[in-house]
Structure 1
């Protein structure tokens, strides 16, 4: 699926937030992000730019995406949450928060 630059940055912001949600960056999460870099077509520069975007701004961009893109985002974020072999409570809270924002 093809995402525009704003969407990529917003998605990368959410990926970054998910990886750091439980306070520990696990090897499985790093591996999953590495795979996603080629799938979504982003690099370390996107990660740096995405860190400077406010969460609210990212959510606003994601809300404007098509339903198909939102479904893809759901798959991506769930994959990150599960990448380390378990889903931490803080990851679940973040997922629920993001998903609730997308359905508004």
Structure 2
């Protein structure tokens, strides 16, 4: 799945927020981000830029993405939440807030 630079920043912001939700970055999460950087073809320094992005701007970009990319984001956020082997309730709540704000309907 191809994302343009703005979409990559918005996706990375959302995923990074999930990973940082429990205020502890674990090895599984680091490995997940490494795999993601290869799959999405971005420099890991882009994560730092994504952290500086305004949440409202990131949500606007996510909301404007085509449905297939939204579904990819949903899958990636789920994988990020599970990357450390445990899913925190705050992670789940955050993911659903992002889904709701970005207009993501889960395809089950």
TM-score by length of 1: 0.95
CA distance, structure 2, for counterparts of residue 62 and residue 85 of structure 1: 26
Cα RMSD between the aligned structures? 1.1
- Which residue pairs with 2:97 in the alignment? 97
Q: TM-score scaled by structure 2?
A: 0.92
Counterparts of 1:1-104 in structure 2, within 5 Å, are: 1-103=1-103
Decide which moves more: 41-50 or 65-74. 41-50
How many residues matched? 104
- The separation in 1 between residues aligned to 2:48 and 2:86, in whole angstroms, is 27
Runs of 4+ more than 3 Å apart: none
